[in-house]
Chains A and B, each alone.
Chain A
Amino acid sequence: MKDSTVLKLNGLSKRFGPVIANDNVSLTLNKGEVLALLGENGAGKTTLMNMLFGHYLPDSGTIEVADDSGFLHPLPLGHPQVALAAGVGMVHQHFTLAENISALDNITLGSEPLFAVRRNRRAARRRIESIMAQSGLNAPLDLPVGRLSVGERQRIEILKALYRQARVLVLDEPTAVLTPQEADALFENIRMMTNEGLSVIFISHKLREVLAFSDRIAVLRHGRKVGEMATSDADEKSIARLMVGAETPELASSRMAPGAPVLTLSGISVTGRSKRDTLNELNLTVHAHEILGIAGVSGNGQSGLANVISGTTEPEQGLIKVNETNIGAPNPTAMVRAGVGRIPEDRHREGIVGAMSVAENMIIERLDDPDVQSRGLLRREAIQDNAERLAKAYDVRGPGVDAPARLLSGGNIQKLILARVFERSPSLILANQPTRGLDMGAAAEVGRRLLEARARGAGVVLISEDLDEILGLADRIMVIRDGELHEAPSRDREQIGLMMAGEPA
């Protein structure tokens, strides 16, 4: 059974204007197999899967899907409805669930006649329960989805596909939002489902999980398939090389002797509007020459911590010291003047003013600097020169320094922010999810700059949900959970994962 083909992509190509998203990509998927689709951001993984699911129409190439009895048939392209009916289910990176209706209603949505006077919820429930039993995916069916956890929502997304009798399941970065334990449970469930005959493609750029849980690996780079191998023949180095084209530079992360404290938070409490910005008696010290990594599952107080350090939230209790000076009334200006540089989480909304030019965005945090203005008037030429110099030094690419910043790609916006922050030589850098959504090259650049700042004597608070990033960069690791910070006793991935999930380490 294992070697019968359930899906064939033959020479798919797709261009968006001048950009080639996929170039002649062919893939096959066998019954009961887990295929990992690996590649950097922008390598064309999601485009490829969107063609399979009918969201995009390929420029050339064909797709064949096996029917119930194993015969391959060409799939009419460009119709999600047809792909669904042929047994292709897709779980998108951003969940497509309505939060005000129950899990059961989300699962059955679209599979019942709309204008029937009565629904047969009992039959639907029986079918879902039997699917849950077979796949090991469990979720409460009657609560509104808005009240469920991220892990439960993802299981509901998969149940949606299985309810539609998917034989091929595509998972787009399924573990991006899960704790390590939840991710492991997910892969166990996938294993159960493939034993039942389901075939799975999962998109990822986390090498560890790809090596641990797939049967075969296909690597995309710049829209081309550059390699395919059985997972048993693969190792981390060789795949990484295929993904980026050359060996990824090992980050020189040798520890340095920590200097004087640059940031001290003692007994900080904030009652936020939700759990994500609530802090509870939090203590933290960062020294010069030190990168402090804050690990945690998203929504456990990371936003609150970032807001306090950047001065946008005034804590109800507690002391903030920057460079051993008390900050009496914290506000963004005071924090910037005290020497805090911030790389915000949502770079599009909080990092730049999209309608202003790249050059203006580069000086926006130092408008009182005589280099930038004199007697209240902006020094246009100096600003222009500054922008051109920084754009070159930090490799900010795009339509030019006079163009509105919103026209830059995500990676280039991040480089703009890095340029603005590092130019001021801050003594403390707050980096909140600095590499989220960036490709490996841009992410490595961020890491290199942070290490450079540390070498210069800055302290860094690195908040990240990517444990690998923290393990690769941080000198010291703390875990945030329910608004409380705890020192990680070791750099052991398992132990930190358990702390993130709130279990006693």
Chain B
Amino acid sequence: MMDILNILLSESFWAASLRIATPLIFGVLGALICERAGVLNLGIEGIFVVGAMCGWMAVWLGAGLWGGVLVAALAGAFFGLLHAILTVPLGLSQHVSGLGITLFATSVSYYTYRTALPNVSSPPRIEPFQPLDLPMLSDLPFLGTVLFQQTALTWLALLLVAVVWYVMNRTALGVALQAVGDNPDSVDAQGLSVYGLRIGAIVVGSALMALGGAFLTMSAFDAFFFGMVNGRGWVCIALVIFASWRPGKALLGALLFGAFDALQVRLQTEIGALVPGQVFLMAPYVLSIIALVVAARSADYPRALLTPWFKGQR
């Protein structure tokens, strides 16, 4: 028991939680934007892989780190556009299209990687984002380590939480996005474009998802390898429901998941001899299912989620 308390009070535990949460923050925000506009994007898992691969490869080919981030975002936006065209004007099943995008995007990423690097045994490394060592702030006790030694991408993720919150709640665009996810006719009757809003939301949301992937290869690790996304996209889909489609709660959910994950790694080293390691690996997922069951009972789904809308059909 004392061990857990010690872990929970340690700076490194909270720093790790925030680091693990970062890709999830990007992913949840992306999924949230898509779903608020009424479209489920199950392409998220594949878009994570695309973001991870493209960001890393751009840097490996000589682009700057921020150039790599941009390439990742554009690649994610491209797959988002594909999903948007299939599900919005063509009105295909959002589940089927999304899973198709995940399979397609994952395979294309692996294929590109293998084609570019046919004969490597250990993945080539890049120089990733370094922790932002802010002179005064980093020396603060506790907070200094937790907050001020994260990389720039973590800061970007936290900033985006605020930006998405502001856009959703304080701008005309956000109101229109919420409306199009609730009743597309309300937007159409007022002369706004349902297709435009939905396609835009999916493209932007998918770009954010790809940033989550890019964080993995450009900040958390320094190379791309198969299977590295490891279900993070699916976790985000669950976290959106946990967050009731609200950016603030999305941050909380991602941090909670990050904390569970960081805790299991530490518990494994503490009492790993007694319990098989797989139990610990499973723990964050089990706990997120439990959290979901509790939160989802009162979930307020966007009413038009999953329902295609066609112009001129009432």
Contact = CB atoms under 8 A, between A and B. Distances in A.
A96 B312 contact: no
Contacts of B302: 100
Contacts of B171: 114-119
Contacts of A99: 182-183, 303
Interface in B171-202: 171-173, 175-176, 178-183, 185-192
Contact of B179 (A55, A98, A111, A113): A98
B178 A101 contact: yes
Given A81-B191, A92-B314, A97 B186 contact: yes
B297 interface: no
B186 A106 contact: yes
Interface in A73-121: 80-81, 84, 90, 92, 94, 96-101, 105-106, 108-119
B303 A109 contact: no
A96 B190 CA distance: 9
B170 A109 contact: no
A412 to B, nearest CB: 21
Contact of B192 (A55, A94, A109, A118): A109
A90 B175 CA distance: 22
A463 B14 CA distance: 62
A98 B303 CA distance: 9
A112 B172 contact: yes
The CB with the most chain A CB atoms within 10 A, among B175, B183, B192, B300, is that of B175
A101 B172 contact: no
Contacts of B185: 92, 94, 96
A90 B314 CA distance: 14
Contacts of B170: 118-119
B279 to A, nearest CB: 39
B187 A110 contact: yes
A160 interface: yes
B223 to A, nearest CB: 39
Contacts of B181: 100
A109 B176 contact: yes
A119 B189 contact: no
Interface in B263-314: 300, 302-303, 312, 314
Contacts of A113: 172
Q: Which of A100, A105, A119 lies at the interface centre, i.e. has the most chain B CB atoms within 10 A of its CB?
A: A100
A114 B303 contact: no
Interface residues of A, number: 28
A228 to B, nearest CB: 28
Nearest to A99: B182
Contact of A111 (B178, B182, B190, B312): B190
Contact of B187 (A55, A81, A109): A109
B183 A98 contact: yes
A105 B191 contact: no
A96 B303 contact: no
B179 to A, nearest CB: 4
B195 to A, nearest CB: 14
Interface string B144-184: 00000000000000000000000000111101101111110
Contacts of B303: 99-100
Nearest to B175: A105
Given A94-B314, A105-B179, A80 B191 contact: yes
Given A55-B312, A92-B314, A114-B172, A100 B178 contact: yes
B182 A109 contact: no
Contacts of B191: 80-81, 84, 110
A119 B172 contact: yes
A85 to B, nearest CB: 9
Contacts of A97: 183, 186
A111 to B, nearest CB: 7
B176 A114 contact: yes
Nearest to B170: A119
Given A92-B189, A117-B171, A110 B182 contact: no
Nearest to A121: B170
**Residue in A55, A110, A115, A118 with the greatest tally of chain B CB atoms within 10 Å:** A110
B192 A101 contact: no
Given A81-B191, A100-B302, A100-B303, A109 B175 contact: yes
Interface in B229-260: none
B314 A110 contact: no
Contacts of A105: 175, 179
A99 B181 CA distance: 10
A111 B187 CA distance: 11
A116 B172 contact: yes
A119 B168 CA distance: 12
Contacts of A98: 178-180, 182-183, 186-187
B181 to A, nearest CB: 8
A100 B175 CA distance: 9
Among A90, A96, A113, chain B packs the most CB atoms within 10 A around the CB of: A96
Interface in B104-125: none
A111 B190 CA distance: 8
B152 to A, nearest CB: 24
Best-buried of B179, B182, B303, B314 by chain A (most CB within 10 Å): B179
A243 B278 CA distance: 76
A492 B70 CA distance: 72
A96 B188 contact: yes
Contacts of A108: 172, 175
A101 B182 CA distance: 9
B94 to A, nearest CB: 19
B183 A96 contact: yes
Contacts of B190: 96, 109-111, 160
A69 to B, nearest CB: 24
Contact of A106 (B172, B179, B188, B300): B179
Contacts of B180: 98
B173 A114 contact: yes
Contact of B182 (A92, A100, A116, A160): A100
Interface string A258-289: 00000000000000000000000000000000
Interface in A114-148: 114-119
B140 to A, nearest CB: 33
A147 B300 CA distance: 14
Contact of A109 (B179, B300, B312): B179
Contacts of B178: 98, 100-101
Closest 9 CB pairs of A and B: A110-B190, A98-B179, A96-B189, A98-B182, A96-B185, A98-B186, A112-B172, A100-B182, A81-B191
Interface of A: 55, 80-81, 84, 90, 92, 94, 96-101, 105-106, 108-119, 160
15 contacts: A84-B191, A96-B186, A96-B190, A97-B183, A100-B179, A100-B181, A100-B302, A105-B179, A110-B187, A110-B190, A114-B176, A115-B173, A117-B171, A160-B189, A160-B190
Given A94-B185, A94-B314, A96-B189, 10 more contacts: A80-B188, A92-B189, A100-B302, A105-B175, A108-B175, A109-B187, A110-B190, A112-B172, A114-B173, A115-B173
